[in-house]
Amino acid sequence: MRVLRFIPIWAFTLLCLMEDSSCADDSSVVNPCCYFPCENGGVCVRFGSDGYECDCTRTGYYGKNCSIPDFWIRIQLLVKPSTDTTHFFLTHFQWLWDFVNNTFLRGKIMKLMLTLRTHLIPTPPTYNSKYNYLSWESYYNLTFYTRLLPPIPEDCPLPMGTKGKAVLPDPKLISQHFLKRTKFRPEPQGTNVMFGFMAQHFTHMFFRTDHILGAIYTKALGHGVDAGNIYGDNLERQHLLRLRKDGKMKYKVLNGEMYPPTVLDAPVKMYYPKHVPDEHRLAIGHEHFGLVPGLCMYATLWLREHNRICDILKAEHPTWDDEQLFQTSRLIIIGEIIHIIIEEYVQQLSGYNLKLLFDPTLLFNEQFQYTNRIAMEFVQLYHWHQLMPDTFLIDGDEIPLGEFLYNTTILTHYGIEKLVDSFSRQHAGQIGGGHNSPAQLLYVAELSLNDSREGRIQSFNQYRKKFELKPYSSFHEFTDDEEMAEELEELYGDIDALEFFPGIMLEKTRPNSIFGESMMEMGAPFSLKGLMGNAICSPQYWKPSTFGGETGFNIVKTATLKKLVCNNTKWCPYVSYHVPRNQEEAEPRKPSTEL
């Protein structure tokens, strides 16, 4: 054994094989799939102890590592513009897009965008965090988040495979040194706090990690837009929140206005600190939505909208019972959510001059599967706490973030109108580039980084490849902050060992953009597949009868953020996901009884 200690690993492996020894379990043999040798969607399959094959089936590539494109892929690569070129084209030439947005070309381009983006998300789902190979569990077991790439094999010599350091940096160091806000940096596209609260309210209906079972599990079995954040994520919670009359949800009336009930009237489990009295503990679909008044604001708006729709449906269908009124109203609410998210929320994120279009019929003649699974990678990239400012400006008052937490009295004191108006006028923070996360929320980033390691998520560059982006060759290419580049290189040792979560958060931002290339190019496919893959967008559901007739169908097809607010308030405030663009919008709104 003293002699063998000096024999190179490759020679030792060869010696074992020649002597027909059992070397498969020897720690000196590196799993070849730890090198991630298969390119362009090829699947690495290990054979023997140190052999592998890449399955290139239907990738458009061939060769030992699926690196050689076939004829048609070569043609596509020659004519396909880069993502930066496409983004530049979509965010410039306003005169051209003014023409396109008023012609049939808008629908044609939107259809192309939907098909190109959504094809990047596999359907049916492929992997989960327990298995790094296809399995029936990956497809059938809805308690898992799905995965686009399999987890890093457990027997790899280094945490990120075969590159980088033997020990990954401390999550607290990453959050404190690279993410913590040094000075509030406003988002250059004009995104506001109203958008920031919608991001949190919307995504938490399907981002519901089961921290009891572990980070790889989800409690959101719906895996998509089901309005569970409004109605509750299970039948028991839903029944406790329902009025059980005319399809409506429970509510309380304060100063002549409708608000969510308290836990005294709807005894659902909510998370509030002990010092918050029961009469201030609002009962909402999501147990954590008492956290900040912005989430309570949206909960109140959707509560009012649901009950308003119930009145409309009852007037048209006096024979319907409570259950049918409730269920049909919920479908309408889901449709409104998807419409607003695509045409206003995603529109604001993109910065595109093309007006995005919510029209499910665009995909009716395409091979498109109306199903969705939430991926762990999607959960990771959507931690956008940088949007939150350090203080909130409401009706001339300045409220620090610390006083904002679990303070539901802010909602009832100022009222929906003043909250909406104030949040719509205040700048949100820039997400990408680092150094812009509120100190109070850094613990969430640390949890996310720990979750990614528990799930053995592959490196940032591996996901760049998966989404057809060029992998970064160095940390200096990755960020335009030279000091950050050097520090990251010291911590990780190799750009190919940079973890997904810090990669997506610290990447240099596009010019005058909310975040970097990767966040947009990876996030958009997840979002569009989840939205358009909803059952109500299918040919079987997308028709008037689903929504109670043409009146309900029209509510869905014409939904806007402004309608959501102004149909449910005493007066119509300034409401948008963009801060005022001109003096007219910036003028304070005067209360009016006319909607």
Q: Do the beta carbons of residue 31 and residue 155 sit within 8 Å?
A: yes
- CA nearest neighbour of 377 among 547, 504, 189: 504
- CA nearest neighbour of 376 among 125, 149, 133, 145: 145
222, exposed or middle or buried, with CB in 10 Å at 0-12, 13-18, 19+?
Answer: middle
Catalytic residue among 127, 145, 201, 204: 204
Task: Tell me, yes or no, if 223 is annotated catalytic.
Answer: no
DSSP structural state of residue 360: G
The Cα–Cα gap between 438 and 563 comes to: 32
H helices then E strands: how many in the chain? 25, 10
The total number of residues shown for the chain amounts to: 595
- Token readout for 156 is 């790899």
How, if at all, do strands 146-147 and 127-128 pair?
antiparallel
Task: Tell me, yes or no, if 204 is annotated catalytic.
Answer: yes
- CA nearest neighbour of 462 among 68, 33, 51, 31: 33
- CA nearest neighbour of 458 among 162, 108, 103: 162
Catalytic residue among 52, 382, 472, 492: 382
Q: Do the beta carbons of residue 341 and residue 202 sit within 8 Å?
A: yes
The Cα–Cα gap between 122 and 80 comes to: 21
Give the 3-state secondary structure of residue 48.
coil
* Contact partners, residue 112, CB within 8 Å, separation at least 6: none
Whether the link from the prior residue into 124 is cis, omega within 30° of 0, is yes
* Contact partners, residue 32, CB within 8 Å, separation at least 6: 44, 46, 50, 51, 52
Alpha-carbon distances, residue 302 vs 19, 260, 309, 528 (angstroms): 72, 10, 10, 22
For 62, other C-beta atoms within 10 Å of its C-beta total 17
The Cα–Cα gap between 287 and 232 comes to: 8
Q: Do the beta carbons of residue 87 and residue 354 sit within 8 Å?
A: no
Q: Find where tokens 């049916």 sit.
A: 124
Q: Do the beta carbons of residue 469 and residue 517 sit within 8 Å?
A: yes
The Cα–Cα gap between 4 and 17 comes to: 15
The Cα–Cα gap between 172 and 312 comes to: 52
The Cα–Cα gap between 266 and 242 comes to: 8
Q: Do the beta carbons of residue 297 and residue 197 sit within 8 Å?
A: yes
- Token readout for 475 is 């940390």
Strand partners, 218: 209
- Indicate the helix (H) or strand (E) that contains 43: strand 43-47
As annotated, the active-site residues are 204, 382
